[in-house]
Amino acid sequence: MLRFFAIRIARALLTIALVVTFAFIVLRLSGDPGLMIMGPEAPPEVIEAFRKAWGLDHPIWVQYLDYFKAIGQGELGRSMRDGRPAIQLVLERIPATLALTIPAFLVKVLLGIPAGIYAALRRGSAIDRAVMITAVAGFTVPSFVLALLLVLIFAVQLGWLPSGGQDSWRHAILPIVTLGFGGAAVLARFTRSAMLEILGQPYIRTASAKGVPWRRVITDHALPNAAIPTVTILGFMVGSLIAGAVVVESVFSWPGVGRLLVVAVANRDLAVVQCILLLVAMTMVTSNLIVDFLYGLLDPRLRSKGAEA
């Protein structure tokens, strides 16, 4: 078991290193921060001085080594725009993002999972079809389209809710609904198919043949098995709590991490982008680890396999 997790953690660290490396290289190859931040009209010597000040005049592999050395010392760099530590900029934005993503996560779970289970139990019924049509619509419609649609209906036409900004809890409703609905749709479809597969298993028939009442066949026998594939999707959703709202934050001008990322990428504010990506990679990897751990908890077959490995 310990070795199982040691391997997982080593793999997780490798994933983070790869993400950070990729971001580092792409950012430096895709545009000159000096030009972006100082503006194209700035005199060449000013841009040169800027490059020197931020160490951009060194060869890329030297910059790369310096960057990793700095990370090792807990130094994530400073914003090239206002000189503040990048990590501080990012941390400031996290509460705003979580204020959207955590309620949206609850919407996904509380709406998507029961809808999926219900649809599976009433397979082929009108309710099942309604849930599935909504679910397909929910994840084929891109979130910015849904966001604009909601704005059109509830802000422009009905005037019930504001179309953007972050002044009160009412401003959070449309972004949360946009995020939550799409995720609930994915989760509903996934839960339904997991549940249908489990309901067709011989051990469900065995449970019925034992005289277990149908309701308890579902709760005691089917759900614990259907939870295993569903946890995968949930883990992915937890992993995207920090950076899963980039589009929605932009549409609703919500000052979260997602918007910061968009602005920082546009400006080639290297340290800020790298800091966000590092954070995103870390949350993704952490939630993956948690999922692995939950698999072991939920499925005894994996547990004994893990012990052998």
Partner 1 sequence: MAPLVSISGLKVAFNGTPVLHGIDLDIDKGEAVGLVGESGSGKSVTWLAALGLLPAKAKVAGSATLDGRELIGADGKVLDQVRGRRIAMIFQDPASALNPVLTIRRQLCESLALHRGLRGEAARIEALRLLDLVGIPDANRRLSAYPHEFSGGQVQRIMIAIALAGQPHLLIADEPTTALDATIQAQILDLLAAVRREFNMAMVLISHDLGVVAENCDRVCVMYAGRIVERAPATRLFDDPWHPYAQGLIGALPPLDGARRRLQAIPGTVPDPRALPSGCAFAPRCSFAGDGCHAGVPLLAPIVQDRAVACLRPQRLPVELAAE
- For the CB of residue 118, give the shortest distance to partner 1 in the complex, in Å: 16
Q: Between residues 11 and 305, which has the closer beta carbon with respect to partner 1?
A: 305
CA-nearest of 27, 19, 21 to 67 is 21
Q: Between residues 218 and 261, which has the closer beta carbon with respect to partner 1?
A: 218
What is the CB neighbour count within 10 angstroms for residue 215? 8
> What element of type H or E holds 126?
helix 126-140
- For the CB of residue 217, give the shortest distance to partner 1 in the complex, in Å: 10
Q: Between residues 88 and 206, which has the closer beta carbon with respect to partner 1?
A: 206
What DSSP string runs through 210-253? TT--HHHIIIIIIHHHHHHHHHHHHHHHHHTTTTTTHHHHHHTT
For residues 1 and 57, what is the distance between their CA atoms, to the nearest angstrom? 48
Crossing angle for the helix pair 257-267 and 270-298, to the nearest 10 degrees:
140
For residues 148 and 146, what is the distance between their CA atoms, to the nearest angstrom? 5
Q: Between residues 40 and 211, which has the closer beta carbon with respect to partner 1?
A: 211
Crossing angle for the helix pair 169-199 and 126-140, to the nearest 10 degrees:
120
- For the CB of residue 214, give the shortest distance to partner 1 in the complex, in Å: 6
CA distances, 128 to each of 10, 141, 195, 229, 237 (Å): 43, 20, 13, 20, 24
- For the CB of residue 207, give the shortest distance to partner 1 in the complex, in Å: 7
- State the residues that interact with partner 1 by CB under 8 A: 201-203, 205-214, 220-221, 224-225, 228, 298-301, 304
Q: Between residues 98 and 196, which has the closer beta carbon with respect to partner 1?
A: 196
- CA 97 distance to own-chain centroid: 11
- For the CB of residue 194, give the shortest distance to partner 1 in the complex, in Å: 13
User: Angle at Cα 226 formed by Cα 108 and Cα 230, nearest 5°?
Assistant: 35
- For the CB of residue 182, give the shortest distance to partner 1 in the complex, in Å: 30
Q: Between residues 159 and 202, which has the closer beta carbon with respect to partner 1?
A: 202
- Specify which residues 78 forms β-bridges with: 85
3-state secondary structure of 166: coil
Q: Between residues 98 and 212, which has the closer beta carbon with respect to partner 1?
A: 212
- For the CB of residue 295, give the shortest distance to partner 1 in the complex, in Å: 11
- CA 111 distance to own-chain centroid: 18
For residues 195 and 193, what is the distance between their CA atoms, to the nearest angstrom? 5
Q: Between residues 6 and 307, which has the closer beta carbon with respect to partner 1?
A: 307
- For the CB of residue 249, give the shortest distance to partner 1 in the complex, in Å: 39
